[in-house]
Structure 1
Amino acid sequence: MRSPKPSHPITRRSWVFLLLAVLLYFAANQTQVPWLYVFTTAALGVWLAAGLMARGNLRGLRLTRRINGAEVLEYELTVGDTVTVELELHNRSGLPALQVAGAEWCEFAPPEERAQPFFLTVPARGKITLSYETVAARRGWFEFPPLTVRSRAPFGLFNTQRALVQPTGVLIFPEYREISRFPLLDRKPSVQNPFAQVGLGTEFVGVREYRPGDSPRHVHWRSTARVNELVVKEFSEETQPGLTIALDVRPASIIGAESDNTLERAIKVAATLAHYAAQRGLPVNMASNSRALPSPTGPVSRWAAMNYLARLEPDDGPSLTESLHNLRASVFVAVLYPSPDPATLAPLLEMKKQGVTALAVLIDPAIFQPELAGQAQALAAALRAQGIGVRIIGNEPDWEQTLIADDRSATRY
C-alpha cells in the first residue's frame, strides 16, 4: 500500500526568516547599499533551498514491520507472550533522510510501553532497522496505525511529515491455564443427548423456513403449499457429549477497570475450559449474549474458540437469563458470571431437569468492589441447594486450582 505524500508546513522560524529577508530588502531599497541586496538574496536562496530539501527529505522512505521475525499481515499471540517488533526504514532516495523522528504505537503493549519513540538519519539508498521488545498485555484484534515520521531538516524552516503505511494485524488470544483435570467433564453424563441437535442426520425433528444453501431434496412440499413459502425439513444428528461455555458480556454485569475486570477474568476461565476440553477431544460450543459478535453455530475447534474469546467485547445484548433459556446446550454447560445474577437459577434448574450437567463459575465482584462482598457466596449457596455445581473465582493467583477442586472444596477465599 502506498504511503500518503508528505506535508510541508512552514514553521515559526521560517516566518521569522522570511520577515528578516523582507526587512533586509526594504533596507537595501532605501539605502542602496549593495551588500544588503546580497544578504537579501542569500536569505531567500537559503529559504528556497531548505524548502526543496524538505520536500524530498522523507519522500523515499518505506516501512517494513516484522513480528517475532515474521513479515506477515496477521500474527497470532497469547496474552503474556514476549513480542519483538522490528521496524525497517528503507530510503530509496539518492539523498539521505535527515533527522527523522517518530513514535511507533503498539496498542497491545503495557501502557508504559505503548509509545516507542525514535530519532535517526537514514542513509541514501540505505536502511535502518529498529527493534523493541514488549509483552502482549491485552487480548483482542489489534492493527498497527500508520507510522508518522517527521523532520525539520535541514534548518528547522519546514516541518515535514509523512505517514508510512504497513498493514499489520495481531490477534492476541486470552490467557489460559493448564489444568490436569476438571470434574465437570471427567464424570459420565446422565444422558448422551438431552436435546435433538439440528444437523445432517436422518431423524426428522421439524420444519423451518427455507434458507439459501438448503438442499431442494429437503423441501417439505405440503407445508410449502399451505403457507405459500418454501419450507424445509430439519433433521437431528448424533452428537457425542460436549461442553457449552456461556458468557455474559453485558456492560452492566462487568465490574472493575477496563484492563482488569470481572469479564476479563471470566474470559480467562473460558479459555482454560475450552483448552482442556479440546485436549480431551470433546466438542466445544461457545455462547454469549453479544449482538455484535454472534455465537458460533455448532462445535468449534480450539483455535476458533480462542479466536472468538479474543474478539469478544462488552455489548448490550439480552440478559443472561434469556440467553440461557434460548441456549441449545450440550451435555455439559459451564456458565460464567462476571457478576452474580440470581435470575439465572430458573433456566439452570430447567437444564438440570433435561439431563444437562451444569456448572456455575462466579467471578467474585468483591475483588474490585469490597462493598459487594458476600453476593457471590449468596448465589452459590442458592445454586448448591438445588444441586448445581458452583465455583467461585476470587483474587487468588492460582485460580485454576479452584476449577479442578471437587464440590466440597470449590470455594476459596
Structure 2
Amino acid sequence: MVPTARVLGALVLFLVLEWYAATSQVPWLFLLALWVVAVVLAAAVYAAWNRRGVTLHLGVGDARPAPGSPVEALPDHVLRAGPMPAPVFEGDGFGLEVALRSRRGTRGPVWAQGTVGGERIVAATGLVSADGWSRVRSMSAARRGAIGATGWSVGTSDPFGFFRGVEKTPDEEVVVVLPKFASVSGLRQSRELDASVAATRAGSGNELFGIREYRPGDSLRRIHWRSSAKRGELVVREYEPPGVQTLTIVLDRDPPSTDIADQMARIAASEAWDCLRDGGRVVLWAPGTEPLPSRDIWSVLEWLARYPSTASSPAEPVIGQDLVTVTAGNQEAADTIELARSRGARVRAWVVGDARFDVDAPVERVGTAWPI
C-alpha cells in the first residue's frame, strides 16, 4: 500500500487550515484541519483492509463460432465432452470473463489490468460483493494455440484515492484455440475405415497401441520398464484389440512457417476425426515428441493446438495398420514412410506446399488455404 499525490494535497490543506486558523483566530478551522487528518488516517486503515481477500479469475465466458467453424457440424454428444463452456476454434471469437471475488465480505474499489493475447484489458468496479463481480470482454478472432494472460495485477484503494495497493498475479493460460477440421475422406486415396468394431474392448490383442498408467490388476508382464523409469511412475503397454483400425499420424518436427504449421494441424485433425468417428484409434507423433495414442477427439485437438511442441523426447512412433504423414516435404517424413512400409503398414502422405517429396506412396498436395 502506497500513498498517492492526494495525501500530499491533504497535508497542504491541513497546513493552510492551521495557518489560517492561527492568523484569523477562527477556532473551528482547527477542528476542520483535524478532520482532514482523521479522514486520511481512516482512508489508510480502509485501504489496508480492502486489499485483503480479493482474487482475480480469468476464463472463457462464451464462444462465438465463425462461419465454417467445426462447432456447427459436431454432434451434441461430442460437444458435451468438450471444453466448457464451449470449445474455441481458430477464427472464432470468444468472451473473456474477468471476475473479481472476495473471500472476506464486500470490498471496493477494485480494478484489474493485464494483457490477453497481446490485447491490453482493464476492468474496474467500485464494489465487489460477497457474490463476486464479473464482466465479459469480447475478444476478436483467435489463431490456433494457447492464449495466455500475462502481466496481470489487482489494484485496490480507499474511496478517496489517498492510498493504493497493487498485487501482481501469476501468468496463466486462458484458453487453447483448437485447429479447424473437416472430413477429408472424400479427398484421400484410401479405403473407408471400418466402423463395425467400435465397441471392441481396449487393452488386449497383439498389436501395440501405446502406453498408459498402471492400474491395479494389470499384469506385471505388461509393465514398460523404460518408460516407467523415465516418467517416475509405472506405465503398461496397451495392445490393440484385433480388427480395430489404428491410424498413426506423423507431422514434421519443425514446420517452416506458422501458416504451414496451422494447415498441417488442420489436416491431421481432419484425418483423426474421420478415423475416430468410425470407431478407430489415433496415434499422433512428431519427431522429438512423445506419441499420443487417443480415442478422444478433444485430446487430439489440444495436442494439435500446441503443435509444434518444444518438448524433447527420443520416442519413436507406434505404427499401426495405417500411417499418414502430414509434411512440408521433410526428409524425416519420407524415412518414416519407408519404415512403416517395411513393417507392412498402409501409407500415404499430405504435402503442404510445393516442396519435392519423392516417396512410394499416395500423395495429396495442398496449399495453406482452408477449406482444402
Q: TM-score, normalised by structure 2?
A: 0.66
| Superposition map of 1:4-403 within 5 A | 8-15=1-8, 17-18=10-11, 21=14, 37-38=30-31, 40-57=33-50, 59=52, 67-68=61-62, 77-79=87-89, 80-87=91-98, 89=100, 97-98=108-109, 100-103=110-113, 105-107=115-117, 111=118, 114-122=119-127, 128-135=133-140, 137-140=142-145, 148-161=153-166, 170-179=175-184, 181-186=186-191, 200-201=204-205, 215=219, 238-249=242-253, 253-256=254-257, 260-291=258-289, 294-297=290-293, 299-315=294-310, 317=312, 326-337=316-327, 339-342=328-331, 344-364=333-353, 376-377=354-355, 379-380=356-357, 382-383=358-359, 387-399=360-372
Q: Determine the C-alpha separation between the residues in 1 that align with 2:5 and 2:47.
A: 15
Supply the RMSD in Å over aligned alpha carbons.
4.8
Displacement after TM superposition at 1:246 (Å): 0.6
- 1:170–1:9 distance in 2 versus 1, CA, 3 Å: same
**What is the percentage of aligned positions where both structures have the same residue?**
19
**Alpha-carbon deviation of 1:131?**
2.2
Q: How many residues align?
A: 325
Q: 1:103·1:117 contact (CA, 8 Å) conserved in 2? A: yes
Q: Determine if contact 2:206/2:242 at 8 Å carries over to the other structure.
A: no
**Structure 1 or 2: larger helix share?**
1
State the secondary structure of the residue aligned to 2:249: strand
Q: 1:53 to 1:174 in 2, by over 3 A?
A: same
Write the distance in 1 (CA, Å) between the matches of 2:169 and 2:335: 56
1:248 maps to amino acid: D
* Counterpart Cα distance in 2 of 1:33 and 1:332: 99
Report which of the two structures shows the higher radius of gyration computed on alpha carbons.
Answer: 1
Is contact 1:290-1:317 (8 Å) kept? Answer: yes
> Structure 1: how far apart are the matches of 2:31 and 2:276?
81
What letter matches 2:352 in structure 1? I
Alpha-carbon distance in structure 2 between the residues aligned to 1:121 and 1:217: 63
TM-score, normalisation: structure 1: 0.60
**Contact persistence 1:92–1:124 (CA under 8 A):** no
Structure 2 CA distance for aligned equivalents of residues 355 and 262 of structure 1: 30
Query: Which residue is equivalent to 1:368?
Result: none
Any gaps of 5 or more consecutive residues in structure 2?
Answer: 64-79, 195-202, 209-213, 224-235
Partner of 1:403: none
SS in 2 for 1:335: strand
